[in-house]
Amino acid sequence: MYGLFGTRDAVDFVPRNKPGAPLWRITVHDSTGATVTLGTGGSPAKILPLPDLNPAEGGCRLVWTDVPLPENAGTLDVRVDVRLDAACPFARWRIEAVPHSIRWWLWEVEFPIIAGIDGRGRPTSVESVVYPRGWG
């Protein structure tokens, strides 16, 4: 992915001029209470077409496979779908993370990481509006 740019306000939400800027951060947890945060951090994604895309939509699938978990105790697969529907002015983003480990499990997911919004989902300027559409 090259970036996410707002044409109306000329804002780089996922900055193009910062290679390796994370799109997601995932924290994993184990039974001892240890937590480790992983992120895209420059790892390139495979960019694939969405399998069920209809002609009135645009979008893509970004895939990271075999992201190493701490202490060689497994891997993590992450899939991000971005869908653009001609009938809707909003992009729909979805993330799926699957740990392949008997030691580590998902604890927290920050996604999408967008410039202008802090880590708790609060806008860093008065021009931004963010609200969740679903939990899961």
CA distance 20 to 90: 25
Q: Which residues pair with 99 in a beta bridge?
A: 76
pLDDT tens digit sequence for 7-58 = 555 555 555 555 556 788 899 999 999 999 998 755 678 888 888 887 777 8
Q: Which residues pair with 16 in a beta bridge?
A: none
pLDDT tens digit sequence for 114-133 = 665 555 545 455 444 444 55
Q: How confident is the model at residue 5 (pLDDT cuts 50, 70, 90)?
A: low
Q: How many CB atoms lie within 10 A of CB 11?
A: 16
Comparing CA positions, the residue from 15, 106, 11, 10 lying closest to residue 2 is 15
Hey, what amino acid is at 129? Answer: V
Mean local confidence (pLDDT), 88-101: 88
Give me 123's structure tokens: 């806008």
pLDDT tens digit sequence for 64-74 = 999 999 999 99
Q: What is the DSSP string of 14-39?
A: E-TTSTT--S-EEEEE-TTS-EEEEE
Quote the pLDDT of residue 126.
45
Q: How many CB atoms lie within 10 A of CB 78?
A: 24
Quote the pLDDT of residue 33.
93
